[in-house]
């Protein structure tokens, strides 16, 4: 028997309905009643979409904010009364909200729960199953679903050293949670089974799943990363209703007991290219012929993709993309060709079979070759002493002040961009507005007395999208929205061919800014790791290859910028640490890639050009080796909210360091006194000549008056600190 299973269809909806509902409810423009009705309607639409194409799909996916928060609340980690939406949203986005963290190397952020010190879990009435408001209609037809306990334990703020006691307590809690759906098929999502260390935890896990499998028909669904072979083998001994296995090179499918369906995860959930269904059919048909019950499924939940391909595509992409809805269609087609393959060995194909094959054949075209040959890696940069000496001509004071790049983006600017897009404004008129904004930013920075200036990035919508628009080989989608966290969405661009710099990227804006001031202006570029991490990658092209090609495109820009007399270049790599591979054995290779990519971008610059690196959103414990291989002259970090002692791991490195004078995410004014105290705290870990003074990230999302107040205080604090030296 062959069936199709899909999961994670974007809760955002085809037209960002989810975002509108949440934001309307939060702002008070949508009543509680209308909000819940709206969610029901959205869920009905999602279910109908599943129903149209696939056999099996989950119930209860339409989280009120984040599935991990749902689980934490259901298990009583944060006790709430039934229906207390205000309490729930306070946990998601109030003053004491749980921290956000990237989810399994994707660009979705989940809320990170805190486990109780003593393993005690008390399921909360009204928050588990049946699901809280807005999604119970799904329970009639879909498979009830929950995130599994292993994923909770591994992804918490405080993962326990020993899982045994926690898993024991969670066994009781989950058994209680599933009572309302006792005996039914339940989908337990366990992406953490692919993490390092799952093998050691197996005995406890087997006990947990074994017990739960007595209460419900349990389908165990790992995804994203294939679990170790030993883990799969062990899970395959359990009396499960279904076991998910990610089909990847080198993964062999386990023998499962009679009655267990193999959930073969075959179509992409993180990439956008259509699947070669005929090839997949060849691989799967021997399995189908054994009589094994097979469910074909995606390798990741579908919410990392936009809802559907809903715009006219350029020729190179037409007929090649599959977003979430197209993935459902792929599963249906795959099932059709598998069914015909297993029934029609002897007899000539029936007309329906012919159609299925014809459709599958027409569905897929192989990708064009990735035709890119990188130039040789430059030799390393000149020694640091030589660079420091050459850079003295920047004539910077002790504790130099600078910003990270973006200045507040006003509504006016966003309107200009909208009008440029809709062609209501031509390029020349738009450029005049941009020049105006740059002029104002430079004037402001001179008045404030900053030392290294920026043009303020008024021309950038988003730090990746902007480069995707200027580089050939990228397609920045118009409507391809994906949920980032809560109600926040973004549009990942699609890299489909080797990136080529057909026009300058930052040259024009940077030179214009530099023409207005004698102070050095930084050229600011988004780095190759971040460009690759926050885009969909070309078909069949490894992350590594994409990074190198992007680095090469940036290298040309950086060379040209320097040849025009720009003296400071900054590379932004906010994705650097979040892309740290989840599997330890892949980390050395990643470190080497980061070093090589950075060298390709800045390695040919003369010693007098000062190279800055900016990083954010990170846990900096892993940072040091990266700074060693990248060897920038100055690094700025998003560290203003961390305890200054995080610098301990960076002592002894001989580079300039700007750990962040104030937190750009807060609208509050930070008095000069407080900034001074913060800077002094940094000096406990750094010699004076290495401390830089800067906000901890770009100022784009601040109001102009908020940015101004804090920059003023920051410069004032730097001046006072200089007096003390
Ligand atoms: N230069 C960018 C800015 O200032 C950097 C953004 C980021 O690090 N996320 O907005
Ligand atoms: Zn940043």
pLDDT digit string, tens, across residues 13-69: 999 999 999 999 999 999 999 999 999 999 999 999 999 999 999 998 999 999 999
* Residue 131's pLDDT band (cuts 50, 70, 90): confident
How many helices (H) and strands (E) the chain has is answered by 22, 19
Using one digit for the tens of pLDDT, what is the confidence trace for 396-432? 999 999 999 999 998 999 999 999 989 999 999 999 9
* The ligand 1 atom nearest the CA atom of 616: 8
CA 538 to chain CA centroid, nearest Å: 17
Sign of CA dihedral 478, 484, 487, 488: negative
Q: What is the predicted pLDDT for the residue at 348?
A: 76
Average confidence (pLDDT) over 100-110: 94
User: Of 597, 594, 593, 636, whose CA–CA distance to 615 is shortest?
Assistant: 636
Q: What is the predicted pLDDT for the residue at 478?
A: 92
Q: What is the predicted pLDDT for the residue at 123?
A: 96
Mutation pick for ligand 1 pocket among 613, 614, 663 (CB with most ligand atoms within 8 Å)? 614
Within 137-215, strands assigned E span: 143-147, 185-189
CB within 8 A of 271, min separation 6: which ones? 536, 537, 539
Decide: 614 in ligand 1 pocket, CB within 6 A.
yes
Using one digit for the tens of pLDDT, what is the confidence trace for 381-406? 999 999 999 999 999 999 999 999 99
* Cα of 42 from ligand 2 centre, angstroms: 35
Does residue 107 have a pLDDT over 90?
yes
Decide: 405 in ligand 1 pocket, CB within 6 A.
yes
> What is d(CA 484, CA 223) in angstroms, rounded to the nearest whole number?
19
Decide: 408 in ligand 1 pocket, CB within 6 A.
no
- Which value, to the nearest 10 degrees, does the dihedral of the CA atoms of residues 279, 282, 287, 292 take? 80
Q: What is the predicted pLDDT for the residue at 713?
A: 98
Does residue 344 have a pLDDT over 60?
no
Query: For atom 8 of ligand 1, which residue has the closest CA?
Result: 574
Supply the mean pLDDT for the chain.
Answer: 95
* Cα of 319 from ligand 2 centre, angstroms: 37
Contact 360, 278 (CB under 8 A): yes
Q: What is the predicted pLDDT for the residue at 619?
A: 75
Using one digit for the tens of pLDDT, what is the confidence trace for 577-636? 989 999 999 999 999 999 999 999 999 999 999 999 999 867 788 999 999 999 999 999
pLDDT above 70 as % of the chain:
99
Q: What number is the ipTM of this complex?
A: 0.99
> What is d(CA 411, CA 413) in angstroms, rounded to the nearest whole number?
5
Q: What is the predicted pLDDT for the residue at 343?
A: 60
Using one digit for the tens of pLDDT, what is the confidence trace for 218-265? 999 999 999 999 999 999 999 999 999 999 888 889 999 999 999 999
User: Of 499, 530, 390, 510, whose CA–CA distance to 457 is shortest?
Assistant: 510
Q: What is the predicted pLDDT for the residue at 288?
A: 87
Average confidence (pLDDT) over 433-440: 97
Position with higher pLDDT, 89 vs 665: 89
Average confidence (pLDDT) over 504-522: 98
Query: For atom 10 of ligand 1, which residue has the closest CA?
Result: 698
Does residue 198 have a pLDDT over 90?
yes
Helix, strand, coil percentages for the chain (3-state, nearest 5): 40, 15, 45
Using one digit for the tens of pLDDT, what is the confidence trace for 551-564? 999 999 999 999 99
Average confidence (pLDDT) over 347-364: 87
Q: What is the predicted pLDDT for the residue at 167?
A: 98
Mutation pick for ligand 1 pocket among 107, 109, 403, 406 (CB with most ligand atoms within 8 Å)? 406
Q: What is the predicted pLDDT for the residue at 351?
A: 83
Does residue 347 have a pLDDT over 80?
no
Decide: 700 in ligand 1 pocket, CB within 6 A.
yes
Contact 243, 260 (CB under 8 A): yes
Q: What is the predicted pLDDT for the residue at 350?
A: 80
* Cα of 68 from ligand 1 centre, angstroms: 28
Decide: 529 in ligand 1 pocket, CB within 6 A.
no
Decide: 697 in ligand 1 pocket, CB within 6 A.
yes
Q: Spell out which residues have Cβ within 5 A of ligand 2, the ion.
A: 616, 638, 697
Query: For atom 9 of ligand 1, which residue has the closest CA?
Result: 574
* Cα of 305 from ligand 1 centre, angstroms: 24
Average confidence (pLDDT) over 294-317: 97
* Residue 433's pLDDT band (cuts 50, 70, 90): very high
Average confidence (pLDDT) over 695-708: 95
* Residue 530's pLDDT band (cuts 50, 70, 90): very high
Average confidence (pLDDT) over 662-680: 95
Region of poorest pLDDT, from 114-118, 421-425, 451-455, 463-467: 421-425
Q: What is the predicted pLDDT for the residue at 342?
A: 63
Give whole-number Cα distances, 618 to 614, 621, 646, 696, in Å: 11, 9, 11, 12
Does residue 334 have a pLDDT over 90?
yes
Query: For atom 6 of ligand 1, which residue has the closest CA?
Result: 698
* Residue 354's pLDDT band (cuts 50, 70, 90): confident
Q: What is the predicted pLDDT for the residue at 132?
A: 81
Does residue 266 have a pLDDT over 80?
yes
3-state secondary structure of 709: helix
Give whole-number Cα distances, 557 to 217, 377, 550, 584, in Å: 58, 16, 11, 34
Q: What is the predicted pLDDT for the residue at 283?
A: 93
């Amino acid at each position: 028997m062959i069936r199709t299973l899909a999961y994670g269809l974007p809760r955002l909806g085809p037209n960002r309905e989810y975002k509108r509902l949440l934001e309307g409810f939060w702002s008070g423009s949508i009543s509680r009643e209308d909000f819940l009705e709206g969610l029901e309607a959205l869920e009905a639409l999602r279910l109908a979409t599943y129903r149209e194409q696939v056999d099996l799909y989950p119930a209860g996916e339409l989280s009120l904010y984040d599935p991990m928060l749902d689980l934490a609340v259901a298990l009583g980690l944060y006790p709430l009364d039934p229906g207390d939406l205000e309490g729930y949203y306070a946990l998601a986005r109030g003053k004491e909200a749980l921290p956000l963290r990237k989810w399994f190397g994707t660009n979705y952020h989940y809320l990170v729960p805190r486990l109780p010190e003593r393993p005690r879990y008390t399921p909360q009435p009204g928050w588990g199953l049946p699901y809280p408001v807005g999604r119970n209609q799904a329970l009639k037809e879909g498979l009830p679903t929950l995130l599994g306990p292993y994923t909770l334990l591994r992804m918490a703020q405080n993962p326990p050293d020993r899982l045994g006691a926690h898993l024991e307590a969670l066994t009781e809690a989950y058994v209680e949670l599933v009572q309302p759906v006792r005996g039914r098929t339940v989908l337990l999502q366990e992406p953490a089974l692919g993490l390092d260390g799952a093998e050691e935890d197996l005995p406890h896990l087997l006990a947990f799943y074994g017990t739960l499998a007595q209460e419900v028909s349990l389908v165990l669904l790992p995804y994203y990363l294939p679990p170790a072979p030993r883990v799969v083998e062990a899970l395959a001994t359990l009396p499960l209703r279904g076991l998910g296995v990610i089909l990847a090179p080198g993964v062999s499918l386990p023998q499962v007991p009679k009655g267990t369906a193999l959930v073969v995860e075959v179509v992409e959930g993180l990439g956008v290219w259509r699947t070669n269904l005929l090839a997949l059919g060849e691989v799967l048909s021997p399995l189908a012929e054994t009589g094994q019950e097979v469910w074909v499924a995606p390798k990741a939940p579908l919410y990392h993709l936009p809802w559907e391909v809903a715009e006219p595509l350029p020729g190179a992409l037409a007929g090649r993309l599959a977003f979430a809805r197209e993935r459902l269609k792929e599963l249906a087609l795959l099932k059709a060709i598998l069914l015909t393959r297993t029934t029609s060995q002897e007899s000539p194909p029936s007309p329906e079979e012919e159609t299925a094959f014809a459709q599958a054949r027409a569905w897929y075209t192989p990708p064009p070759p990735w035709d890119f040959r990188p130039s040789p890696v430059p030799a390393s940069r000149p020694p640091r002493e030589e660079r420091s000496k050459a850079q003295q001509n920047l004539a910077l004071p002790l504790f130099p002040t600078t910003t990270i790049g973006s200045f507040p983006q006003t509504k006016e600017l966003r309107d200009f961009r909208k009008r440029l897009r809709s062609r209501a404004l031509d390029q020349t008129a738009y450029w005049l507005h941009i020049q105006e904004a740059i002029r104002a930013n430079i004037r402001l920075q001179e008045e404030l007395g900053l030392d290294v200036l920026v043009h303020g990035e008024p021309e950038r919508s988003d730090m990746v999208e902007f480069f995707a628009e200027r580089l050939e080989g990228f397609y920045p989608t118009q409507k391809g929205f994906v949920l980032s966290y809560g109600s926040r969405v973004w549009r990942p661009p699609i890299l489909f061919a080797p990136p080529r710099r057909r026009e300058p990227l930052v040259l024009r804006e940077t030179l214009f800014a530099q023409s207005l001031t004698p102070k050095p202006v930084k050229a600011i570029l988004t780095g190759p790791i971040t460009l690759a991490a926050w885009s969909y990658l070309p078909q069949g092209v490894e992350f590594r290859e994409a990074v190198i090609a992007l680095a090469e495109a940036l290298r040309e820009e950086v060379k040209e910028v320097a040849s025009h007399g720009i003296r400071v270049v900054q590379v932004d790599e906010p994705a650097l640490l979040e892309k740290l591979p989840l599997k330890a054995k892949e980390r050395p290779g990643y470190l080497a890639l980061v070093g090589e990519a950075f060298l390709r971008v800045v390695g040919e610059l003369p010693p007098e050009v000062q190279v800055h690196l900016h990083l954010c959103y990170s846990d900096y414990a892993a940072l040091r080796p990266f700074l060693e291989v990248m060897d920038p002259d100055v690094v700025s970090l998003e560290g203003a909210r961390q305890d200054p002692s995080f610098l301990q791991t960076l002592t002894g490195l001989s580079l300039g360091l700007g750990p962040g004078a104030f937190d750009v995410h807060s609208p509050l004014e930070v008095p000069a006194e407080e900034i001074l105290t913060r800077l002094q705290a940094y000096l406990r870990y750094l010699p004076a000549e290495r401390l830089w003074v800067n906000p901890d990230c770009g100022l784009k999302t601040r109001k102009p008056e908020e940015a101004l107040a804090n920059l003023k205080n920051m410069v004032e604090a730097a001046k006072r600190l200089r007096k003390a030296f």
